[in-house]
Structure 1
């Protein structure tokens, strides 16, 4: 059973969209959707995965030569994670990433 959200879309679509724009759409969807716990969980998990990953890539990229290569690999890894998490959310699965997922779940309860 799918539930509607404030955007008028099904919850699995909005949860999948929270991963598409990395941490930016996670923040936007957290601000727009105050009631749906499934959507808020995926938006919070997106924020908690991709914001630190973006910061790490940015910091590593400042290291000459080897840092550029490592930043590229981390960037491609994050591009791989986006469709994986989006498909999982679209299917309606509440997959908690170890450590981050549990913390994200506790954060939406507050």
Structure 2
């Protein structure tokens, strides 16, 4: 008798999990906004980070209504500006600046890959300071 109860409780728990998952899946699909580019919004957000400032500006100009894509486009642009400025500053510091620049380069690469992954997952992962600026300016006009 105990085995039967455990089996039925397990089946009921699986059914509840499936129901919850379906509800979450449908609510995520409802939140997606249409894109002018014709791409899925998570793919467009990922592409914002590929060529940084170029694709960021392209998607910022094209997508005037989609806050998710605009956020990632702006964050990619601001990240590029920060990294570019940091590279210039470190370039003027002999030896130590160059070594720091060499150490930071792989970190920036992995950060970009991480941001692409987060964008593709449909998450608005905010970097400190840069993410706040991107969120503030991503509101459609």
Normalized against structure 1, the TM-score is what? 0.88
Residue in 1 aligned with 2:78? Answer: 48
* Structure 2: gaps (5+ residues): 1-28
The CA distance in 1 between the partners of 2:109 and 2:125, in whole Å, is 18
Q: Which runs of 4+ in 1 moved over 3 A?
A: none
Q: Aligned pair 1:90/2:125, yes or no?
A: no
The CA distance in 1 between the partners of 2:85 and 2:129, in whole Å, is 19
* Structure 1 position 75, deviation (Å): 1.9
The CA distance in 1 between the partners of 2:34 and 2:113, in whole Å, is 22
Q: C-alpha root-mean-square deviation of aligned residues, in Å? A: 1.6
Residue in 1 aligned with 2:24? Answer: none
Q: Aligned pair 1:18/2:29, yes or no?
A: no
Q: Aligned pair 1:36/2:51, yes or no?
A: no
* Structure 1 position 16, deviation (Å): 0.5
Of structures 1 and 2, the one scoring higher in RCO (CA 8 A, sep 6+) is 1
* Structure 1 position 63, deviation (Å): 2.1
Q: Would the aligned equivalents of 1:57 and 1:71 in 2 still touch at CA under 8 Å?
A: yes
Normalized against structure 2, the TM-score is what? 0.70
The CA distance in 2 between the partners of 1:63 and 1:30, in whole Å, is 34
Mark the structure with the bigger radius of gyration: 2
The more displaced of 5-14 and 54-63 is: 54-63
Count of residue correspondences: 110
